[in-house]
A and B are shown apart, each in its own frame.
Chain A
Amino acid sequence: MWQWFHKLSTPKYYYQWSGKWLPWLAGLTIILFAIGLYWGLLVAPTDYQQGESYRIIYIHVPAAWMSMFVYVVMACAGFVALVWKTKLSEIVVSECAVIGAVFTAIALITGMLWGKPTWGTYWTWDARLTSELILLFLYFGVIAIYSSIEDKRVAAKAASMLAIVGVVNIPIIHFSVNWWNSLHQPNMDIISDKPSMDPSMLWPLLVMAVAFKVYFGWVLFMRIRNEIISRERATKWVKELVVGR
Chain B
Amino acid sequence: MELSRRNFLKATTVGGAIALGFDLSKARAEIREFKISRTTETRSICPYCAVSCGVIIHTLGDRSKNAVASVVHVEGDPDHPISRGSLCPKGITLKDDITHKNRLTMPKVRRPGSDHWDDITWDDAVARIARHIKTTRDKSFVARNAKGQVVNRNPGMAMIGGCTDTNEFNFLQWKAITAWGVPYRDSQARV
Genuine A/B complex? no
User: A residues engaging B (CB < 8 A)?
Assistant: none
User: B residues engaging A (CB < 8 A)?
Assistant: none
